[in-house]
Chains A and B, each alone.
Chain A
Amino acid sequence: MNRRDYIFRKIVFAILTLAIVFTINFFLFRVLPGDPVRAVIGRNVPISKEARQALYEQFGLNKLVFPDQYFDTLGQYLQGNLGVSWSLRRPVTQVLVAKLGNTLLLVTLGQFFAIILGVTLGLLSGWKRKTKIDISALTFSLIMWAVPTFWLGIMLLALGSALLGLPTGGMIDPKNVNKPFFENLPDVARHLILPTLTFTLVYMGEYMLIMRSSILEVLSEDYILTAKAKGLSHWQIMRKHALKNAMLPIVTLIALNLGFTVSGVIYIETVFSYDGLGKLFQEALTKQDFPLLQGAFMLLALAVIVANMLADILYTYLDPRVKQV
């Protein structure tokens, strides 16, 4: 099978998966006990019976869940219309796009530093196995991997705001909200320091550990011995022979993480009041805002699926064995 067929097959599978996710999600939310209209209006404003009834009809809740509501929603989705959020009264696509950009910024920055730091530390550890460097790097990574994200975030927030005067939350200082994008860059960067640091520390440990064990495995291979026998320097062995082979598991991990960190970042966003998808998910769930919930979960599913697909495709380039399945 050539590469084009391989990729085509992957895409067909991805679309199928999305369709299944859509269906499961659709029914999952509707199986939840409770009354969405009541959840949206909450307990603060007693509304009249007529208004309540009108809302049921507006939301289409007076129709049968299956087939009416299901095919209505499916039809909307096929036209690329995710509907209007019941609680926010804005198009779901608009809400998601506004938040997704911010989440991606944080995730990309965090992943970038986590990968650089994790891979470097892992390499160093593997290379200098059983030295003080190795042991302290290993301990540090294990602790960071095990520490609860939420707790680490709060600690960094308390320290950062008290000692360094870093902002306690948000994406920009409210006073700058009207300024043009480029003037706000320094302010946005200041607000990103603590969340990015938290993210980096939390995810770095995993990369470090994988990289370390991977490099150790590669270093025990026969061809490394051959290289040594040829008289190559330590550095040359690392660069030309070990690193490329040791990177394979890391690529898998990065791809998987790209998908999952979009949901994993929820904690960090909540701690730093960062305007991303995190808080949105929580609100949509407590308000039983079906259109928003559906849209958000589709986006998550999409992130995981696309990241996996990318990894698969990337593999065909990195590992010649995958090309000829």
Chain B
Amino acid sequence: MFYTRQAVRPSFAFLACCVVLALILAACGGGAAPTPASAQPTGAGQPNPTELPAKTEPVILRIGWLGKPDTLNPAYAFLTESYLIFDLILNPLVTEDPTGKYVGALAKEWKAAEDGLTWTFTLKDNIKWHAGTPVTADDVAWAINAVIKDPEGWAALSNYVAGFKEVTAPDDKTVQIALENPIGNMEYRLSFLYTLPRKDFEQFKTPEDLQNFANDQAIGTGPFKLTQFDKDKGILILEANPDYFDGASKIDQIIFQTFDNADALVQALKVGDIDLVTEVPQSAFSTVKGFANVKAVQTPGRYFSEMIINSVPEDHDPPPTRNSALTDPQVRLAMAHAINKNDLVDVVLQGLGKPGVTIVPPILGGGFWYNSDIKDVEFDLTKANQILEDAGYKKGSDGVRAKDNVKLEFRLQFPSDNPLYPRAADLISAWFKEVGIKTTPQSTDPDALTAAITPVGDYDLVLWGWGPDPDPDFILSVMTTEQFVEGGWGDSGYSNPEYDQLYRDQQLAIDKTERQKMIKKMQEMVFNDRPYIVTWYEDILQAYRSDRFKGFIESPLGIESQKSILQAEPVP
């Protein structure tokens, strides 16, 4: 009773408000219409003829994106968007540069001891917090030690300090990290361990308290300061840090605006409401290319897609449920011959990618880790037919091959949340049909699919993809035996003791060439055993207003990365 009354009254008040709003609405609509100001490249400030010359107006870069950071607290940040902001407002000791090499961020130089158990870093000069106080080696050490001491609280980062013993600061400019065992990808790991202000983060008693901390007024050392993060409205504003130790940015302010809809995002770029789009949808890329005053950027990326072939060992617990012909290497080879990757790229990706070969994408580490010696199996249906014929699979009256009463009839599943796979599955099924393999494409809820795959092993063929880390360690781990467990990342069931050993060895190898050799060998094993047939590598698609800005660095890190934005400048 009480509640209903309450609900009735405000709605009348609301009606009154509506009328007022409607009036304002009408007034604004009329005022805004005659000057399509937003369509003109007027720069950022308010256009006012009597104002000071344009140079003194702040340079504002407006970035539109389809997401927003989950939190600005690195202890519990999982979304790519969060890391993009960290990249601009925080600094680790070392960071990846656009060519895929690791360069100093806070560190001027560094070296590892002979045994690989101690790393010594010398800090750059004049590093200051955004609040103005100097950053000491002690501060850097504290932030990393915090993660080492509370791995449960720092959930998102604790993986990077596995094997770290302790961090010390022998003097103001030197940071020393002591390890329990040598770490092959030390620099990669350090690139996520940001230096955070002790006073903001040391107050939390439990992991839960630490993770609930929003850090909405994040203080860091980076080239930009956080001025505002309105999570609900999806607006995040950064301001240039004039005292940045590596030189201040020519952009005074960056505004991130969240769009929930890709078409609206593209339209906003077209009319000039925003200056940069971090992620142009594949379907819109050719349209964006045609926009006036917009530069569309296409760079090779890290994402790849693959066809997973059930490789779960027979003695696995529980035993796999699948067509047993899938374990025959000849059947796998024939399938590899029957997939036209060039067609997949042209038709499914609309040309915005490259045919895939190994599980380590060619751009990781600037190409350092990719095994370019592997020659891909060529698309050849005759050969595929021949291989199956020679292996004893004879065509039945229905055109499907069989051997010992085992028909080559497979399920071909794919997650329902990706628009590319239905098309790919149709194409693959058509090619397979020509070599006497019958596949039934089936769209499946991604969670249900994960539940059926790991560790149950109830599937035949699955189309899916990965967005690997900048370091190959993670994507290589996916193929290890120990990952094919409940909650693990494995999805092929591939189990090869030699591969597992190589994986452990490369983690300890501090000599880069030696590690490279092992990683190339691992790619070869996966390529030859075919738990995955990698179908394509996707390009990163971005765009910006070329009438307003220039100088972005086009690299796999994206034009919105710290190095790129520090290079960018307004078009006069």
* Size of the chain A interface, CB-CB below 8 angstroms: 78
A17 to B33 alpha-carbon distance, docked (Å): 49
Report B-chain residues with C-beta under 8 Å of the C-beta of A161.
Answer: 38, 267-268, 271, 273
Report B-chain residues with C-beta under 8 Å of the C-beta of A43.
Answer: 466-467
Report B-chain residues with C-beta under 8 Å of the C-beta of A46.
Answer: 159, 469, 474, 477, 489
Would you call A241 an interface residue if the criterion is a C-beta within 8 Å of the partner chain's C-beta atoms?
no
Report B-chain residues with C-beta under 8 Å of the C-beta of A313.
Answer: 4
Report A39-56 residues with CB < 8 Å from chain B CB: 39-48, 50-52, 54-55
A109 to B234 alpha-carbon distance, docked (Å): 23
Would you call A89 an interface residue if the criterion is a C-beta within 8 Å of the partner chain's C-beta atoms?
yes
Would you call B399 an interface residue if the criterion is a C-beta within 8 Å of the partner chain's C-beta atoms?
no
A286 to B260 alpha-carbon distance, docked (Å): 14
Report B-chain residues with C-beta under 8 Å of the C-beta of A112.
Answer: 15, 18
Closest Cβ of chain B: how far from A178's Cβ, in Å?
A: 7
Would you call A165 an interface residue if the criterion is a C-beta within 8 Å of the partner chain's C-beta atoms?
yes
CB of A169 within 8 A of CB of B268, answer yes
Report A-chain residues with C-beta under 8 Å of the C-beta of B386.
Answer: none
Given A89-B76, A170-B233, A165–B39 Cβ distance below 8 Å?
A: yes
Residue of A46, A51, A167, A186 with most partner-chain B CB within 10 A: A51
Would you call A32 an interface residue if the criterion is a C-beta within 8 Å of the partner chain's C-beta atoms?
yes
Contact of B268 among A33, A34, A98, A168 (CB under 8 A): A168
Given A34-B451, A51-B155, A54-B207, A168–B260 Cβ distance below 8 Å?
A: no
CB of B257 within 8 A of CB of A47, answer no
The stretch of A122-130, A205-213, A232-240, A266-274 in contact with B is A266-274
Given A34-B451, A275-B232, A168–B80 Cβ distance below 8 Å?
A: no
CB of A189 within 8 A of CB of B445, answer no
CB of B273 within 8 A of CB of A87, answer no
Report B-chain residues with C-beta under 8 Å of the C-beta of A272.
Answer: 261, 264
A177 to B237 alpha-carbon distance, docked (Å): 9
Given A11-B1, A87-B70, A161-B268, A193–B25 Cβ distance below 8 Å?
A: yes
* Residue in B closest to A43 when the chains form the complex, CB atoms: B467
A109 to B22 alpha-carbon distance, docked (Å): 9
Q: Is the interface of A mostly helix, strand, loop or mixed?
A: helix
Would you call A88 an interface residue if the criterion is a C-beta within 8 Å of the partner chain's C-beta atoms?
yes
Closest Cβ of chain B: how far from A313's Cβ, in Å?
A: 6
CB of B211 within 8 A of CB of A89, answer yes
Report B-chain residues with C-beta under 8 Å of the C-beta of A166.
Answer: 32
Would you call A108 an interface residue if the criterion is a C-beta within 8 Å of the partner chain's C-beta atoms?
yes
The stretch of B6-14, B418-426, B553-561 in contact with A is B6-14
A189 to B78 alpha-carbon distance, docked (Å): 35
CB of A169 within 8 A of CB of B487, answer no
CB of B264 within 8 A of CB of A164, answer no
A192 to B21 alpha-carbon distance, docked (Å): 10
Closest Cβ of chain A: how far from B187's Cβ, in Å?
A: 17
Would you call A174 an interface residue if the criterion is a C-beta within 8 Å of the partner chain's C-beta atoms?
yes
Would you call B52 an interface residue if the criterion is a C-beta within 8 Å of the partner chain's C-beta atoms?
no
A216 to B34 alpha-carbon distance, docked (Å): 44
Given A58-B207, A154-B264, A168–B273 Cβ distance below 8 Å?
A: yes
Would you call B79 an interface residue if the criterion is a C-beta within 8 Å of the partner chain's C-beta atoms?
yes
Question: 1/0 per residue A130-152: CB within 8 Å of B?
Answer: 00000000000000000000000
A94 to B279 alpha-carbon distance, docked (Å): 30
Report A-chain residues with C-beta under 8 Å of the C-beta of B8.
Answer: 310
Report B-chain residues with C-beta under 8 Å of the C-beta of A271.
Answer: 260-261, 263-264
CB of A42 within 8 A of CB of B79, answer yes
A112 to B76 alpha-carbon distance, docked (Å): 43
* Residue in B closest to A187 when the chains form the complex, CB atoms: B28
Would you call B37 an interface residue if the criterion is a C-beta within 8 Å of the partner chain's C-beta atoms?
yes
* Residue in B closest to A8 when the chains form the complex, CB atoms: B1
Would you call B152 an interface residue if the criterion is a C-beta within 8 Å of the partner chain's C-beta atoms?
yes
Report A-chain residues with C-beta under 8 Å of the C-beta of B159.
Answer: 45-48, 51
* Residue in B closest to A34 when the chains form the complex, CB atoms: B447
Given A7-B1, A11-B1, A165-B33, A279–B268 Cβ distance below 8 Å?
A: no
Contact of B261 among A109, A193, A273 (CB under 8 A): A273
Report A-chain residues with C-beta under 8 Å of the C-beta of B567.
Answer: none
* Residue in A closest to B35 when the chains form the complex, CB atoms: A165
Report B201-238 residues with CB < 8 Å from chain A CB: 207-208, 211-212, 214, 228, 230-235, 237
Contact of A189 among B28, B162, B466 (CB under 8 A): B28
Contact of A164 among B33, B158, B487 (CB under 8 A): B33
Report B223-273 residues with CB < 8 Å from chain A CB: 228, 230-235, 237, 255, 257-261, 263-265, 267-268, 270-271, 273
Report A-chain residues with C-beta under 8 Å of the C-beta of B7.
Answer: 306, 310
Given A11-B1, A165-B35, A313-B4, A35–B24 Cβ distance below 8 Å?
A: no
Closest Cβ of chain A: how far from B150's Cβ, in Å?
A: 10
Closest Cβ of chain A: how far from B399's Cβ, in Å?
A: 35
Would you call A201 an interface residue if the criterion is a C-beta within 8 Å of the partner chain's C-beta atoms?
no
Question: 1/0 per residue A245-289: CB within 8 Å of B?
Answer: 000000000000000000000000111111100110000001010
Report A151-204 residues with CB < 8 Å from chain B CB: 154, 157-158, 161-172, 174-175, 177-178, 185-186, 189-190, 192-193, 196
Report A80-130 residues with CB < 8 Å from chain B CB: 84, 87-90, 95, 98-99, 108-109, 112-113
Would you call B29 an interface residue if the criterion is a C-beta within 8 Å of the partner chain's C-beta atoms?
yes
| 8 nearest CB pairs, A to B | A34-B447, A54-B152, A168-B268, A51-B155, A33-B451, A273-B260, A33-B448, A189-B24
Interface residues of chain B, those whose CB is within 8 Å of chain A, are 1, 3-4, 7-8, 11, 14-15, 18, 21-22, 24-25, 27-29, 32-33, 35-39, 60, 62, 70-71, 73, 76-80, 83, 151-152, 154-156, 158-159, 162, 207-208, 211-212, 214, 228, 230-235, 237, 255, 257-261, 263-265, 267-268, 270-271, 273, 417, 445-448, 450-451, 466-467, 469, 474, 477, 487, 489
26 CB-based A-B contacts, threshold 8 Å? A34-B446, A35-B447, A42-B78, A45-B78, A46-B477, A48-B151, A50-B152, A52-B487, A54-B207, A58-B207, A58-B208, A88-B71, A109-B22, A157-B264, A161-B268, A161-B271, A168-B265, A168-B268, A174-B255, A174-B257, A185-B21, A190-B29, A271-B263, A273-B260, A274-B260, A306-B4
Extra A-B contacts (20), CB below 8 Å, given A45-B156, A89-B73, A165-B37: A34-B447, A34-B450, A41-B155, A46-B477, A48-B155, A51-B154, A51-B155, A88-B71, A109-B18, A113-B22, A161-B271, A161-B273, A169-B257, A170-B235, A185-B24, A190-B25, A190-B28, A273-B259, A273-B261, A279-B260
